[in-house]
Structure 1
Amino acid sequence: MNSDITKKIIQIIVLTLVISYGLDKLVFFSLNKVSDKVMTGQAIGKLNHFLSLKDSTNLLVFGNSRANRHIDVAMLSKNGFNMGIDGIGVAYNSTLINTLNKDLKQIVLVHIDTKNFFDNDYTGSDVNALKTKFHRNPIITKVLDSTSQLSTLQKFYYSMNYNGTSIGILKNYFRPNYNFKSYNGYDGLVVTSSQEKIRDIVLAKSISNKECTDNHQINTTALNYLKSIKSFSEKAPNKTFIFITSPIYHDTCEIDNKMLNEIMQELNLTYTDFTNLYKDNKDNSYWKDATHMSNKGAEAFSNHLLQKYKSFQLKQ
């Protein structure tokens, strides 16, 4: 009797797993059909847009919100795209860069922040933002498989990777935020007259902050992802890689900047730190807050990049 009951329990469990697995794949397929048509919004639209044109552009910009808000690609190239995404780090950027066509001639502008490289808590979890492409894009799948960012259930039940993004996907599916065909990825920040007073207070406080620690240690996870970009660049001789750190209003600590610059030199990567570009030019109209430039500041900085890298013929 016990043996029969055990067999029935096992059969029920197996049947349940088979049904749940089948339902998961059905839901996954359905979500894919919907999400693939979404080309707006940061939930998945901008990623889809990038994947659709990544191999047909002359200039690509990678980075976080400071890349997204600071680099107007229209000023640098007639055919460019800014893939800056809020809140992401070098792991996300490295993964997307590795999806590029190695043989295609392109300029790849990579914005990096010192906070990733000297943050003891950085684990590369930002790559998890690519989870909707798990088992859909081989490069992204390989990276996610090699990390601990996805749980065992997520690797088995693929539809779980849409958790947290499905609402944004549906919203942009039924009501797109903008016309993606005329969108180049750059999102300038406009400061209204009512925001100027608050902005000025925030900027003044950033100057009074003198905190700095001498205990800087490179984050190995961030460094490994940076090395992955370098490795890719060596296999893509037709691509020109430029690494930058964009300006902030007031840098309270320059130790990390110096250390990062040394690392970039050791890796033989073309890098310029623009953190203090406007250190002596306290024009508040250039800023939205202490770390993000306004659209006016972004225009000035993008023009500076154009003049700095004229030899790379960005305006093409």
Structure 2
Amino acid sequence: MNSEITKKLLKLIGLILIISFGLDKLVFFSLNKISDEVMTGQAIGKLNQFLSIKDSTDFIVFGNSRANHHIDVDLFSKNGFNIGVDGVGIAYNSTLINTLKNDKKQLILIHIDTKNFFDPNYDGSDIRGLKTKYHREKNITNSLNKSKSLSVLQRFYYSMNYNGNSIGILKNYFKPSYNYKTYSGYDPLTVSNSQQEMRDIILAKANTSITEDCMGKTKMNTTAVNYLKSIKSFIDNSPNKKFIFVTTPIYNDTCNEDNKLLSTLMQDLGLKYLDFTNLYKDTKDNSYWKDATHMSVIGAEKFSAYLSEKLKPFM
């Protein structure tokens, strides 16, 4: 009797799994159809736009919020795109770089941040920001599998990878937040009159001691280094592209040791690296800044103009 009940339970469980698997794929394909039409917003629109134009542009900027808000690609090229995304690290960017066509002639600017390379807690989990393309784009799928950042359920039930993004996707599906056809990916930050006082307080507090801030910032994070090496491997197989790594300015860098170690690593790997962390260290013009690590539109435009001159030999 127990054996018969067990058999029936197993059949029932199997039937439930088959039905749930089928429903998951139905939801997955439905969400795909909707999301593919979304070209605005950071939930998926900016990524969709990048994937649709990545092999037809001649200048691309990769990075986190400091790439997104600091580099005006229109000052470099009329056929460029800034795929900088708030909150991501080198894992996310390494994965996207590996989606590019090797033989396409392009100038690639990659923003790197010392906090990734010297943060003991950095685990590359920012790659999960690409989970909506799981089983949709070969290189992204392979990178997500290799990173083991998705759960067993996410690898089996694909629609789960839209969790946390579906509301933003639907919002931009029904009401696009901007005209993507005129959008180059650059999102400058403005500082209103009411925000200036708080901004000035934040900048004043940024002047902390070097000794205190340097503690624990001299050991390389192996995860970040491995993703950098993945980019290096792609570079070695892309002779038609020019790659330049850059770190954009911050208000007051209280530790130079990590910058030196990162510069040494880049040199050892044979990568072109321009570190502008301290470019405005002695300027201290608060109008350049939104906060201690992000420039305002005033600072970003000034920096972009300066950087475009520096990159002219590579254009």
Aligned to 2:2: 2
Moved more, 187-196 or 100-109: 187-196
- 1:162 to 2:162 alignment: yes
Aligned to 2:310: 308
Return the offset for 1:147. 1.5
Return the offset for 1:182. 0.5
Which residue of 269, 272, 275 corresponds with 2:277?
A: 275
- Cα distance in 2 for residues equivalent to 1:190 and 1:170: 27
The answer to whether the 8 Å contact 1:63/1:90 transfers is yes
**Which deviations, in whole Å up to 9, do the C-alpha atoms of 1:204-237 show, x marking residues without a partner?**
1111454223442100000000000010011000
Aligned to 2:299: 297
Question: What amino acid is the match of 1:233?
Answer: I
- Cα distance in 2 for residues equivalent to 1:212 and 1:9: 60
- Cα distance in 2 for residues equivalent to 1:186 and 1:129: 19
Moved more, 207-216 or 124-133: 207-216
Question: What amino acid is the match of 1:280?
Answer: D
Question: What amino acid is the match of 1:227?
Answer: K
Write out aligned runs for 1:140-289 (5 A). Answer: 140-210=140-210, 211-215=212-216, 216-289=218-291
Question: What amino acid is the match of 2:30?
Answer: S
- Cα distance in 1 for residues equivalent to 2:214 and 2:107: 36
The answer to whether the 8 Å contact 1:247/1:275 transfers is yes
Return the offset for 1:4. 1.6
- Cα distance in 1 for residues equivalent to 2:50 and 2:172: 16
Task: Give the TM-score, by structure 1 length.
Answer: 0.97
- Cα distance in 2 for residues equivalent to 1:231 and 1:41: 31
Aligned to 1:17: 17
Question: What amino acid is the match of 1:281?
Answer: T
Task: Give the TM-score, by structure 2 length.
Answer: 0.98
Return the offset for 1:199. 1.1
- Cα distance in 1 for residues equivalent to 2:301 and 2:273: 21
Return the offset for 1:309. 1.4
Return the offset for 1:312. 1.1
Aligned to 2:126: 126
- Cα distance in 1 for residues equivalent to 2:209 and 2:150: 38
**Which deviations, in whole Å up to 9, do the C-alpha atoms of 1:50-100 show, x marking residues without a partner?**
000000001000000000000000011111000000000000000000000
The answer to whether the 8 Å contact 2:214/2:254 transfers is no
- How many residues get paired? 313
Question: What amino acid is the match of 1:303?
Answer: A
- Cα distance in 1 for residues equivalent to 2:23 and 2:192: 49
- Cα distance in 1 for residues equivalent to 2:166 and 2:8: 37
The answer to whether the 8 Å contact 1:203/1:289 transfers is yes
SS at match of 1:207: coil
- Cα distance in 1 for residues equivalent to 2:112 and 2:175: 33
The answer to whether the 8 Å contact 2:247/2:277 transfers is yes
In structure 1, the gaps of 5 or more residues are: none
SS at match of 2:213: coil
Moved more, 188-197 or 23-32: 188-197
Moved more, 254-263 or 196-205: 196-205
